[in-house]
Structure 1
Amino acid sequence: MTGMLTARPVPARSRAFDLFLAGGLCVTFGFLSLAQAHLEGFLAFGMLAPLVWRRTHPELVFYGVCSVALLQWLAQVQLMPGNVGLLVGLYAITVYGDVQQSRIALGIGGLGVLMATSRYWSNSDWKQQITMMVALGALVFGVWALGERRRTRGLYVAQLEERAAQLERDRDRESKLAVSNERTRIAREIHDVVAHGLSIMIVQADGGLYAADQSPEAAKKALATIGDTGRASLTEMRKMLGLLKQDEQRDLDPNQPRPQPGVSSLPELIENVRAAGLTVAYEVTGRPRDLPALLGLTAYRIVQEGLTNTLKHAGPGARTSVTLDFGREMLTVVVTDDGRGAGVAPSSDPGHGLVGMRQRASVSGGTVSAGPKAGGGYEVIARLPYNLPNGG
């Protein structure tokens, strides 16, 4: 019961849509029912108005709508357009509610079919009763199945996003571990350099001390060796300490340049997407060449965004292909799928969706075109020139 009373977080856009949906249904079906009879109109509004909270409190909305429907059945009020609120409530509890509550809602829907058939078609022959029972049952089960599919798809996408976030965290952890190991290695090398240099200097100093009286030339040579060894050791130690200082600055300053993925990282990205269940074909045509870091990163991010949107929008069983064509003057990146073609929706967040792709491509002097294919599916084509504008 606590779960039913706890409001779920809902984006402002979704809340506005729910308000528009409930208001539209009230205006359309509520007043249509009110035109038939006052009681029918009040019952219709009772089943349609609560839909405003169908995302935040799906269980309470469904049971509230069912309670109004039960009053309708007890009052022997005929079925009316406002009864569509029952189907919307069933869909809402299936998509946004608890899984167990969704199963209970399906059972209540089946019971409602039996009650409606026994009340509203009691005077009909048995063939008509069975026909109406099957039709209403198919409608209820169809709405529930549609909601269940939507829930499953949402959970699948959420798992993929969580997995991607976990991979990012693992990569950062591994990077920090690699930095720590590198610092340990540099510290050992510093120790070796200093210990080796000091050992030579001690030996030369002892030899020069003994030769100072008998062979001044040998003593001078020993002192020269001590100086050369000390300077060389000091130079090596400064280089290694400089490496450590660069690592510290990179950790403290997030704006410091870090290694970024490029075209060479695409096979690993595609393998990760394949592991998530998407069929991906990867092809490279033309003569591969070394790309500038910015251009390689742009191509990588465009492919990554295209595959991510295929996972989200193309539907189950979709197949996609990634093609890199190294032309004479530009790199052409093509990401296509044979799914539903919902494609890439522009996002308000920079760096996401079609807007983000075009922004990245424009920085590299390129262009991005995207849209549904004639035979179905969606296609993203990015053309990225090798030479940046203005000689960049």
Structure 2
Amino acid sequence: MTGLLTARPLPARSKAFDLMFAGALFVSAGFLGLAYAQLGGVVGLAMVFPLIWRRTHPEAVFFAVSALAVLQWLANVQLQPGNIGLLVALYAISVYGDIRFSRIALGIGGLGVLMATSRYYASSDWREQLTIMVALGALVFGVWAIGERRRTRGLYVAQLEERAVQAERTRDRESKLAVSAERTRIAREIHDVVAHGLSIMIVQADGGLYAADQSPEAAKKALATIGDTGRASLTEMRKMLGLLKADEQNELDPNQPRPQPGVSSLPELIENVREAGLSVDYQVTGTPRDLPALLGLTAYRIVQEGLTNTLKHAGPGAQTSVSLDFGRDLLTVVVTDDGRGGGVAPSSEPGHGLVGMLQRASVSGGTVNAGPKAGGGYEVIAKLPYNLPNGGVA
């Protein structure tokens, strides 16, 4: 609750208007009252003067003007033009004052009607007194009701403005979160591209070094594969970095479609891995169907990461298989090999590639299980439902 002496902030233009308004009443009502009665005119001037602060201190102004009206009643001074200040103060407290003080002011206004009727119209018959009482009461209540309606409308407008500001803040916050998510996605894409390309290049470099003396043609082929893989990875990475660079000039739009690999790109990926020297068996079962871009990209990256891990850890001569099963409700992706790790030391913590697969599957509403197979080798099984978490359907 706002205190009686607590000033409301008010623009300079409004202060100037209040001063001019009170001054006009002071001149027109106050001096007019001086012409009829000296004491009444002084009281009338005193009732108009506080209206300068009617918006900054509405409660104090109303109670001050009401006290002067009681003094006028006790002194048996006739009603003066300055009594208009009572209605102005009542309107001000109903618009700008605390709502509880506003209701108290209405009660005081009703009591003032009874006091004025009993004192100033005592000589009239009861019918005339009743008519005057009803008229004055309607005037007091009407002024208060108009002010209360303006207060309610002002609060409604203030709520709308606050909601608009809150909606703008929420939009900005969601936009920043979307940009952050898009940056994270691009970073994950860059990791997948670089990790896969480097794995193929390392395998080819090791094979070319081994075959350099015995089979120069094989060494040349390995070098050609390294060059092709490096250029392809560099081109794709430049595209990803171009998106980040574009974000410095314009905000990323996660809803804007971007060309991304999908299930249809898997044969080309597997062929590149085969050229790197890894034997890969690729099978598709079930009835293939069009997949959302996110789901197709998730399946592609899971296969890419599985093959990258095979190149890194399965060892030479490992047999690898990739299978896609288009079931009724979900797509099952399986990447398996029979290697023994190629001498790579096991780690108790999951690598970035596995974490990336888990995150991608989670975004698509699916699951990923990865681990060693019984009898040797490694297996990755991903189950990706067609029904997306946000309600979209493939």
Whether the TM-score (by the shorter chain) exceeds 0.5 is yes
Give the structure 2 partner of residue 29 of structure 1: 29
Whole-Å separation in 2 of the counterparts to 1:47 and 1:235: 83
Which of the pair has more CA radius of gyration? 2
Deviation (angstroms), 1:113? 0.5
**Structure 2 matches for 1:311-322, cutoff 5 A?**
none
Whole-Å separation in 1 of the counterparts to 2:134 and 2:79: 17
2:2–2:98 CA contact under 8 A, matched in 1: no
Cα distance change of structure 1 residues 258 and 60 upon mapping to structure 2, 3 Å threshold? farther
Give the structure 2 partner of residue 104 of structure 1: 104
2:41–2:80 CA contact under 8 A, matched in 1: no
Deviations along 1:281-306, one digit per CA (max 9) or x if unpaired, are xxxxxxxxxxxxxxxxxxxxxxxxxx
Cα distance change of structure 1 residues 118 and 101 upon mapping to structure 2, 3 Å threshold? same
> In structure 2, what residue type is equivalent to 1:201?
M
CA root-mean-square deviation: 1.6
Whole-Å separation in 1 of the counterparts to 2:199 and 2:159: 59
Give the structure 1 partner of residue 120 of structure 2: 120
2:151 corresponds to 1:148: no
Deviation (angstroms), 1:116? 0.5
2:181 corresponds to 1:219: no
Give the structure 2 partner of residue 40 of structure 1: 40
2:88 corresponds to 1:88: yes
> In structure 2, what residue type is equivalent to 1:44?
G
2:52 corresponds to 1:52: yes
Whole-Å separation in 1 of the counterparts to 2:114 and 2:131: 12
Whole-Å separation in 1 of the counterparts to 2:83 and 2:246: 69
Q: Give TM-score scaled by structure 2 length.
A: 0.62
Deviation (angstroms), 1:224? 1.5
Deviation (angstroms), 1:2? 6.4
Deviation (angstroms), 1:208? 1.1
Whole-Å separation in 2 of the counterparts to 1:13 and 1:99: 25
Give the structure 1 partner of residue 74 of structure 2: 74
2:230 corresponds to 1:230: yes
> In structure 1, what residue type is equivalent to 2:100?
Q
Deviations along 1:135-185, one digit per CA (max 9) or x if unpaired, are 110000000000000000000111111111111001000100000100110
SS in 1 for 2:9: coil
Whole-Å separation in 1 of the counterparts to 2:63 and 2:132: 24
> In structure 2, what residue type is equivalent to 1:142?
G
Whole-Å separation in 2 of the counterparts to 1:235 and 1:191: 14
> In structure 2, what residue type is equivalent to 1:28?
S
SS in 1 for 2:3: helix
Gaps of 5+ in 2: 254-394
Q: Give TM-score scaled by structure 1 length.
A: 0.63
Amino-acid identity (%): 78
Gaps of 5+ in 1: 251-255, 260-392
SS in 1 for 2:213: helix
Whole-Å separation in 1 of the counterparts to 2:246 and 2:176: 14
**Structure 2 matches for 1:1-392, cutoff 5 A?**
3-247=3-247, 249-250=248-249
Deviation (angstroms), 1:258? 8.7
> In structure 1, what residue type is equivalent to 2:88?
V
Deviation (angstroms), 1:124? 1.3
Whole-Å separation in 2 of the counterparts to 1:4 and 1:229: 79
> In structure 1, what residue type is equivalent to 2:134?
V
SS in 2 for 1:165: helix
> In structure 2, what residue type is equivalent to 1:6?
T
Whole-Å separation in 2 of the counterparts to 1:239 and 1:187: 12
> In structure 1, what residue type is equivalent to 2:205?
A
Deviation (angstroms), 1:233? 1.3
Whole-Å separation in 1 of the counterparts to 2:3 and 2:201: 76
Whole-Å separation in 2 of the counterparts to 1:2 and 1:147: 18
Deviations along 1:243-283, one digit per CA (max 9) or x if unpaired, are 22332x34xxxxx6898xxxxxxxxxxxxxxxxxxxxxxxx
Deviation (angstroms), 1:238? 2.7
2:87–2:140 CA contact under 8 A, matched in 1: yes
SS in 2 for 1:3: coil
